[in-house]
Amino acid sequence: MEQQRLACFAQLGAALESCSRAGTAGPDAVHRAGGKRSVLPPEPCPTPRSCRPRIATRPPAEGRLRSPSHPARPDAVTTAPEPFLDEQKSLACVHCGLCLGSCPTYLETGNENDSPRGRIYLMRAVQSGRLPLADAVPHFDLCLGCRACEAACPSGVHYGELLESTRDHLERHHQRSPWQNLLRRVLIERIFPHPGLMKVALLPARLIKQAEAAHLLPKFARDALDLLPAEMTTGHLPAISPAIGRRRGRVGFIRGCVMNVMFGRTNENSIRLLNRAGYDVVTPSTQGCCGALHAHGGNLAAARETARNNLTAFADESLDAIIINAAGCGSTLKEYSHLLPDDPRALAFSAKVKDLSEFLVAAGFHHSAFRTPHPASRTTFHDACHLAHAQRITHPPRLLVKAVAGLNFVELPESDVCCGSAGSYNLTEPAMAERLQRRKVENILRTGATCVVTTNPGCLLQMRAGLDQAGAGHVETLHLADFLERSLASPSA
């Protein structure tokens, strides 16, 4: 039955793809970069023009981006397209268009090439040799990798896997500018995953910020500097932190990279919450980066290497669960079996990985007694993309926030639309990131909330910078762990 379904999807997808190629020359379907049109070569349409799906799309508002922030660059010399795409998984997309309304970049540009189904068209066209890689690179780069399309897709397309495979191929066969190479290969891949190197690299930025000398820097550097929190705390986590009160089990803790350097107190609060819930917490010193930045940036080999290291680090700890408090890391940790399909340890490891909110609610922690620190404070919640879309977790963090805020909780409009952080996206694609940041801040201010809670460090940095730039410094941004720990009624809660 499954084979018949895939065969049907394949036939329908091929027909729609051919039809769309014959008539997608309109402004919303074509991206112009350097005088080139990123549109697939026309082929004879096997069915009438009327067969093409009619999708109602909102035209881009004036001032919105119509193209990526950088032009296409020439490809490195290759003799022939290298197979990189899982054909069966790509054929699961029937190009119905139900993903369009969930895609942040499509909402901003109105460009089909910047939509999930458009990018899958481009992936298949590059693999078949019908489209030069350089013409498709700007559209692949502009993708946030937020995976909102996966949550909206009725066919269950594994878009995240397709995107990672495509970017891995891209980084091995596309020639980037020296600046992009420095940013991606050095800063993001070689410094961010190592807390010690990150601390050293951030020292000049902190000094510039303290000296209030940011105005001397170019705009892109000022924008990057704005992302740094006013106070960075490095965590000092014990190898074992014992349970408080009745012991219920033993869990491992992933300290993260950015979390460990910039949000150390949040890590400490996360462990304290787990201790309060009755769990011993083990934090192996040999653990490292989860591999998310590598996998999302197109270096799957490095992502696999970091995954193997973590499998070894947690192998002999006899844990009931492995807890992560950063949404972006959590989605990658839960997909180690995809990165390492031939390693039996990967499936067992991923099965134990739980988001902090997911685990606390399963343990009944939201029924504990909380006190509200500011009774008149209105609180809202932002869904981190890789928690809501990649992990499909939206209810547990809300239960916990509402346990504190009560009737002062208010839902955030477009709470699951990306804020523009998306890992390192706000560094590599600052123009689009800024637009999404502004959109998120406008929605936050519309709620009248004075506190925004979320579950990912990148979101915290992005929203904090956006709120400050909007003159809304009175609106507090808090990680869920900090929000809960601050509100606990007693150590035995």
pLDDT per position as a tens digit, 464-493: 999 999 999 999 999 999 999 998 854 444
At 339 the pLDDT is 95
Span 37-61, average pLDDT = 37
The pLDDT value recorded for residue 205 is: 73
Residue 425 counted as domain residue: yes
Please tell me the predicted confidence (pLDDT) of residue 377.
87
Neighbours of 437 (CB within 10 A): 24
User: Does residue 378 sit in the same domain as residue 312?
Assistant: no
Helices marked H in 23-115: 87-91, 104-109
Q: Range of 268's domain?
A: 240-362
Predicted pLDDT at 225: 72
What is the band of 215 on the pLDDT scale with cuts at 50, 70, 90? low
Lowest mean pLDDT among 51-65, 173-187, 366-380: 51-65
The total domain count for the chain is: 4
| pLDDT-based confidence at residue 40 (cuts at 50, 70, 90) | low
Higher pLDDT, 458 or 227: 458
Domain boundary, last residue among 175, 190, 217: 175
- 277 assigned to some structural domain: yes
Instruction: Write down the pLDDT at residue 373.
Output: 53
* pTM of the predicted protein model: 0.82
Is 364 exposed, middle or buried (CB count within 10 Å of its CB: 0-12, 13-18, 19+)? exposed
Asked whether 289 and 257 are in contact (CB, 8 A), the reply is yes
Query: Which stretch of DSSP H or E encloses residue 249?
Result: strand 249-253
Q: How many CB atoms lie within 10 A of CB 492?
A: 11
In a domain, 234, yes or no: no
In this structure, the answer to whether residues 157 and 204 fall within a common structural domain is no
Q: How many residues does the chain have?
A: 493
> Which of 104-113, 207-216, 289-298, 402-411 is least confident?
207-216
324, 256 in Cβ contact below 8 A?
yes
Tell me how far apart the alpha carbons of residues 410 and 417 are, in angstroms, rounded to a whole number: 17
User: Where does a domain end: 301, 331, 362?
Assistant: 362
| In the predicted structure, residue 4 carries a pLDDT above the cut 60 | no
Are residues 216 and 136 part of one domain?
Answer: no
Residues 316 and 337 in one domain: yes
Query: Are 350 and 380 members of one domain?
Result: no
Q: Last residue of some domain: 323, 346, 362?
A: 362
Q: Is residue 257 part of a domain?
A: yes
Residue 214, class by beta-carbon neighbours within 10 Å (0-12 exposed, 13-18 middle, 19+ buried)? middle
Tokens encoding 281: 């917490």
In sequence order, which residues have a C-beta less than 8 Å from that of residue 8 and are 6 or more positions away?
A: none
Query: For the purposes of burial, counting CB atoms within 10 Å of the CB of 46, is it exposed (0-12), middle (13-18) or buried (19 or more)?
Result: exposed
Rg (CA), the chain: 23
Write out the two tokens for 290.
């989860």
Let me know if residue 327 belongs to a domain. Answer: yes
Listed in sequence order, the residues at least 6 apart from 408 whose beta carbon sits closer than 8 Å to its beta carbon are: 372, 375, 376, 377, 378, 379
**Stretch 251-270: mean pLDDT:** 95
Q: What's the CATH code of the domain at 104?
A: 1.10.1060
Q: Answer yes or no: is 285 within a domain.
A: yes
Residues 253 and 220 in one domain: no
11 and 88 assigned to the same domain: yes
Q: Would residue 275 count as lying in a domain?
A: yes
Read off the pLDDT of residues 122-171 as tens digits, 9 standing for 90 and up.
999 999 999 999 999 999 999 999 999 999 999 999 999 999 999 999 99
Query: Are residues 167 and 192 located together in one domain of the fold?
Result: no
d(CA 270, CA 260): 12
At 323, which CATH number? 3.40.50
Longest dimension (CA), the chain: 72
Residue 442 falls inside a structural domain: yes
Confidence of residue 247 (pLDDT cuts 50, 70, 90): very high
pLDDT digits (tens, 9 = 90+) for 325-337: 999 999 999 999 9
